[in-house]
Amino acid sequence: MNKYLTLDVIFTGGPFAENSKRLGSFGTGLYFSYLFGDSLKRHQELEKEYQDALLEDDNELATLRRNELEMMEGIYKVSFSLFETNEMVS
C-alpha cells in the first residue's frame, strides 16, 4: 500500500471531491507551465549558440545545435498534440 495519500484517495466523494480534481488539474497546469517556460529558455540559448556557430563558421557545432533545435521542436509538436487530444477528451 502506498504510504503517501493523494487528494484522489482522500476525497473520492462528497463536497470536496470535485475541488480535489480541480486542484490536481491546477497543479499539473502549473508544473507544465514551469517546464514549458524552462524549455523555451533552453531553446533560446540553443538558438543563440546556433547563430554564433554560424557566424564563426563552426559547421560542426552549428550542425549539432541545429539537430538539438529540431529535436526540441519535434518534442514540442508531440507535446502539443497530446495536450490537445487530452483537452478534447476532457
Tens of pLDDT, residues 22-68: 777 787 778 888 888 899 999 999 999 999 999 999 999 999 999 99
Cα(17)–Cα(89) distance, rounded to whole angstroms?
Answer: 20
CA torsion, points 66, 68, 69, 72, in degrees to nearest 10? 160
Q: Is 0.85 surpassed by the pTM of this model?
A: no
